[in-house]
Amino acid sequence: MAVAPGGTSVLAEEARSPQPEAYTSVPSSDSRTNRLSFCTKLCYGIGGVPNQVASSATAFYLQLFLLDVAQIPAAQASLVLFGGKVSGAAADPVAGFFINRSRRTGSGRLMPWVLGCTPFIALAYFFLWFLPPFTSLRGLWYMAFYCLFQALATFFQVPYTALTMLLTPSSRERDSATAYRMTMEMVGTLMGATVHGLIVSRAHGPHGCEEATLPGSGGVSPDAMRLYSIAAAVVAMTYPVCISLLYLGVKERPEPFTSTSGQGLSFLVGLGLIVRHPPYLKLVTSFLFISAAVQVEQSYLVLFCTHATRLHDHVEKLVLTILVSAVLSTPVWEWILQRFGKKTSAFGICVMVPFTILLAAVPTAPVAYVVAFVSGVSIAVSMLLPWSMLPDVVDDFQLQHQHGPGLETIFYSSYVFFTKLSGAGALGISTLSLEFAGYKAGACEQAEKVVVTLKVLIGAVPTVMILIGLCILLVSPSLKVPSQNLSRKPSLRRRTSYSLA
């Protein structure tokens, strides 16, 4: 047996030195006992469907519902959208704080949060689309339930995505479970926009109000409220159904990782260090503009087709085209990202710029479908790229600051917080611009100033924000990513599982 200087054996020295798998309590993490069955992976993926269904439906149709069915003033609709987004953003660090300090129960440490939020988030979503009998306080009604829905959705999503790390100690199986989750969430996104759109398609009369509608309610049909209530009930029921399958098919294991790298920083101290890191600042700033542009594009597409063009009958098909295009192009962008680099892939975001301007100038059906397809392609890379670049930023930070565990969570939660906040500001200000333009809730035809404003919001505003974001992103220097040795793999796996939230 070899002996180290001083009479100590090499084996003894190795036993005392930090091992590459210090994060893992199971020697062979890829053994058969740690493999997840197809049923477990499928049930885990199904658990992510409800939030995506609800988020997709609200992203495309909530603004139209508030303005044309609930008929609240555009200024109040602006406050509703802004308040809800801010509520969701503020709930991110709060959810992380409380969930990290929760104790393990018979159902686990994370599963009780998912189960506890389910009935309340389903009720909040249903009442978000409910028309109360009073008219003077409708804005306050929708503000309360949209804020509640966004906050509960955050408290639901954070423990659900973190559950990936407690399914199995096997990194390969966790990656497989994550792939199932992402696939099912894409299916949920398609379901939300498609099912909701098909149900409420008869709630709005054609542009020009050729069909009979409610007296004084413009293009809204007499059974609009019933159709929206049915759509809300269908989406709300996905929560108990899917979460029941999640609970029955997935069992949470004890946490397999035990940090040996030292004490982590508190959230505020870590946040103070992170926001002063130049690569992180440039990444966050660039995607503040890009993500806000995507949200504005999604939110105003339906309003633009309804009030600024004669494309009302194509709304559902256009939304479906965007989502299908985004889903199908995601693996293509992943290949391009790996083959040609991340900054090169960023140019895919600006592909939609000339087409959105073309749609505002020539709002015809063929142009609209081309724009919808290209927008879906750009949206896919704009959603994929930041989660791919954030691990590089974290690695660069950790090379310069040798701190303990936990910083990955601060990086990701703060990024989500800032992007949600930027989306809230963009949607709030843009909706407020409709109020100044003279938008009349539920009107059969809008004034020319409103039509021009919608064209600006669908074309010029996203274009400017995307170009600003890309300029900030592309002028930043490339990061030097360290080689990923075995000792860093657990850290990277934690970042990957959280980033997909």
* Same domain? 292 vs 237: no
* Same domain? 173 vs 303: no
Gap between the terminal Cα atoms of the chain: 50
* Same domain? 410 vs 290: yes
Q: What is the mean pLDDT of the chain?
A: 76
Q: pLDDT (tens digit, 9 = 90+) per residue, 131-147?
A: 888 888 888 999 999 99
Asked if residue 467 belongs to a domain, the reply is: yes
Last residue of a domain, one of 226, 252, 278: 252
Angle, CA of 338, 374 and 60, to the nearest 5° = 110
Where is average pLDDT lowest: 1-10, 42-51, 138-147? 1-10
Burial (CB count <10 Å: 0-12, 13-18, 19+), residue 10: exposed
Q: pLDDT (tens digit, 9 = 90+) per residue, 166-201?
A: 777 776 777 677 767 777 887 888 888 888 888 887
Using the predicted structure, report yes or no on whether residue 24 has a pLDDT greater than 80.
Answer: no
* Same domain? 352 vs 380: yes
Asked if residue 428 belongs to a domain, the reply is: yes
Asked if residue 16 belongs to a domain, the reply is: no
How many whole angstroms separate alpha carbon 318 and alpha carbon 60? 11
Contact indicator for 305, 201 with CB cutoff of 8 Å: no
How many whole angstroms separate alpha carbon 483 and alpha carbon 282? 23
Which residues have a Cβ under 8 Å from the Cβ of 7 and sit 6 or more positions away?
Answer: none
Contact indicator for 236, 129 with CB cutoff of 8 Å: no
List residues bridging with 308 in a β-sheet. Answer: none
How many whole angstroms separate alpha carbon 47 and alpha carbon 22? 31
> Which residue would you say has higher pLDDT here, 446 or 228?
228
Asked if residue 188 belongs to a domain, the reply is: yes
Across the range 119-133, mean pLDDT stands at: 92
Using the predicted structure, report yes or no on whether residue 298 has a pLDDT greater than 80.
Answer: no
Q: What is the pLDDT, as a whole number, of residue 12?
A: 40
Residue 220, SS3 per DSSP: strand
Last residue of a domain, one of 225, 252, 279: 252
Supply 213's token pair. Answer: 């509608």
Asked if residue 91 belongs to a domain, the reply is: yes
* Same domain? 187 vs 282: no
Tally of structural domains, the chain: 2
Closest C-alpha to 404, from 273, 263, 258? 263
* Same domain? 355 vs 474: yes
Across the range 292-307, mean pLDDT stands at: 82
Q: What is the pLDDT, as a whole number, of residue 123?
A: 95
Asked if residue 470 belongs to a domain, the reply is: yes
Using the predicted structure, report yes or no on whether residue 221 has a pLDDT greater than 80.
Answer: no
Distances, alpha carbon 105 to alpha carbons 51, 112, 266, in Å? 24, 8, 25
> Which residue would you say has higher pLDDT here, 35 or 464?
464
Name the DSSP letter for residue 265: P
Q: pLDDT (tens digit, 9 = 90+) per residue, 417-448?
A: 787 778 777 777 777 888 788 877 666 677 88
Q: What is the pLDDT, as a whole number, of residue 489?
A: 43
> Which residue would you say has higher pLDDT here, 202 or 277?
277
Across the range 274-287, mean pLDDT stands at: 85
Encode 91-128: b = buried (16+ Cβ within 10 Å), e = exposed.
Answer: bbbebbeebeeeeeeeebbbbbbbbebbebbbbbbbbb
* Same domain? 243 vs 275: no
Query: Would you say how long the chain is, in residues?
Result: 501
How many whole angstroms separate alpha carbon 289 and alpha carbon 291? 6
* Same domain? 53 vs 158: yes
Within a 13 Å sphere around the CA of 394, how many CA atoms are in the beta-carbon half? 30
SS (H, E, C) 310-367: CCHHHHHHHHHHHHHHHHHHHHHHHHHHHHHCHHHHHHHHHHHHHHHHHHHHCCCHHH
Which residues have a Cβ under 8 Å from the Cβ of 483 and sit 6 or more positions away?
Answer: none
Closest C-alpha to 145, from 225, 74, 223, 54? 54
Using the predicted structure, report yes or no on whether residue 217 has a pLDDT greater than 60.
Answer: no
* Same domain? 275 vs 199: no
Using the predicted structure, report yes or no on whether residue 500 has a pLDDT greater than 60.
Answer: no
Q: Which domain holds residue 220?
A: 39-252
* Same domain? 129 vs 49: yes
Residue 108, SS3 per DSSP: strand
Last residue of a domain, one of 218, 252, 286: 252
CATH of residue 455's domain is 1.20.1250.20
Q: What is the pLDDT, as a whole number, of residue 48?
A: 87
Asked if residue 23 belongs to a domain, the reply is: no
Burial (CB count <10 Å: 0-12, 13-18, 19+), residue 27: exposed
Across the range 260-274, mean pLDDT stands at: 61
Residue 105, SS3 per DSSP: strand
Asked if residue 151 belongs to a domain, the reply is: yes
* Same domain? 345 vs 397: yes
* Same domain? 318 vs 233: no
The residue written with tokens 């724009």 in the block is 371
Residue 297's H or E segment, with its range, is helix 278-307
